[in-house]
Amino acid sequence: MSLYLDNAATSFPKPESVYESINRALREVGVSPGRGGYRRGLEATRLLFETRESVAAFFGIDDSSRVVFTHSATESLNLAVLGLVRPGDHIISTSAEHNALVRPLHRAAQRGAEITWVEADRRGFVTPEQIAAALRPSTRLVALGHCSNVTGAIQPIAEIAGVARRAGALLLLDAAQSAGMIPIDVQAVGIDLLAAPGHKGLMGPQGTGILYVAGGVELEPLVVGGTGGYSSGMEQPSAMPERFESGTHNLPGIIGLGAGIEFIRTVGLDAIRKREEALVARIMQGLGALPGVTCHGPLPGEPRGSLVSFTAEGIDPQSIGFRLDHEFDICVRVGLHCAPAAHRTIGTYPDGAVRVSPGYFTTDEEVDAFLGAMGAILRSR
Ligand SMILES: Cc1ncc(COP(=O)(O)O)c(C=O)c1O
């Protein structure tokens, strides 16, 4: 099997327990939660509830009904932005964001919101002072990523949350590159809306995501329809989480996500973070020793997630990715990573960069095989 170093896109492999739980969910549960009153349906409802509870506990959420299951971080971000923002609202975001956030924000702007894009520095960081300087009386939302999928920069989120709170603005955090890798406690930090994929650091399957909506935050649903209960009226129910979960749930996926979170709990988030930090350090050290290679993003010692983006003199990122794949059977992600502004900020637009993202199951030997392949590619560039 090929050597997979694209965990920032989706984590692979998943823990064995995730595969087993999905298999069991499909074979032994099979039915939809919250639909039939029969006992097997109730069992499905119980499993859905248990995963909701475990997501809530994982992020320090005291009321699990505020956790909405979605299909991806993208869907969560769309719901958070387009469900909240009204014409005339002012929103602050940054140049480090993924299109999953940029495009809903752009759509909100087309509908009459105003957006201030705070410029990240060359290493990918924004400061609480920059956010504070962008505030206006009409600022409704501060929306940004916890960890950049291009630079790996981890933003000073607690301080930024403080700035937003003091100004009476809500904080939306895109935790696509941090959930399951960096501890997040929504209440301790003051996060009003938390969007996360289930299929990256949380180790669940594709087709899963969550949105946490703090008590008192009112969103308009983007999708309406059948919710199992509350069937009599034409209006979408106001009860959480049904208000945002119309249609049949991805129960096998959600059960797999529950198994992923259980795996993280058993191994420990600290152990996962330490392991991934060690892998990233090994990659940066190895790449740094290769002639003409520049690693972008935070300097060693600055807060960085589990990825490294680099460029090399005399060879474009696309050629590196192609040769890694075709000559060495190694999967990395090249190009603009759905975040063109982030590449402009770090000076790698329009060609982009090569992104290497190990996961908890990546071995030192795999990193060394990647570094050996890079050495060979650069010698023959
Ligand atoms: C920073 C960031 N935000 C959002 C997303 C979108 O996540 P999903 O693929 O679950 O929609 C990604 C995925 O790569 C990401 O890296």
Average pLDDT over the chain, rounded to an integer: 96
Provide residues with CB under 6 Å of ligand 1: 9, 72-74, 98, 100, 145, 149, 174, 176-177, 197, 209
Residue 34: per-residue pLDDT: 78
Location of structure tokens 């003051």 = 190
Residue 48 · residue 254 · CB < 8 Å = yes
The 8-class DSSP code of residue 150 comes to T
Q: Residues of CATH 3.40.640.10 domain(s) within the chain?
A: 16-267
Residue 231: per-residue pLDDT: 82
CA of 239 from ligand 1 middle (Å) equals: 28
Please give the order of strands across the beta sheet that includes 333-335. Answer: 293-295, 308-312, 353-356, 333-335
Widest pairwise Cα distance in the chain:
70
338 is catalytic: yes
The architecture that CATH gives domain 16-267 is 3-Layer(aba) Sandwich (3.40)
Residue 290: per-residue pLDDT: 97
Residue 227: per-residue pLDDT: 87
Q: Residues of CATH 3.90.1150.10 domain(s) within the chain?
A: 3-12+269-379
Tokens of 72: 């991806």
Q: What is the pLDDT of residues 175-211, one digit of tens each?
A: 999 999 999 999 999 999 999 999 999 999 999 999 9
Angle subtended by helix axes 99-110 and 73-84, to nearest 10: 20
Residue 124: per-residue pLDDT: 98
Residue 6 pLDDT class (50, 70, 90 cuts): very high
Residue 330 · residue 324 · CB < 8 Å = yes
Location of structure tokens 């995730």 = 18
Q: What is the pLDDT of residues 98-130, one digit of tens each?
A: 999 999 999 999 999 999 999 999 999 999 999
Residue 76 · residue 70 · CB < 8 Å = yes
Q: Name residues whose C-beta falls within 8 Å of residue 233's C-beta, 6 or more positions apart in sequence.
A: none
The architecture that CATH gives domain 3-12+269-379 is Alpha-Beta Complex (3.90)
Residue 40: per-residue pLDDT: 87
Residue 41 pLDDT class (50, 70, 90 cuts): confident
Q: What is the pLDDT of residues 257-269, one digit of tens each?
A: 999 999 999 999 9
In this structure, the residue with its CA closest to atom 16 of ligand 1 is 149
What residues does 143 pair with on adjacent strands? 172
Tokens of 11: 């984590």
Instruction: Break the chain down into helix, strand, coil percent, rounded to 5.
Output: 40, 15, 40
Tokens of 191: 């996060």
Tokens of 147: 């960890």
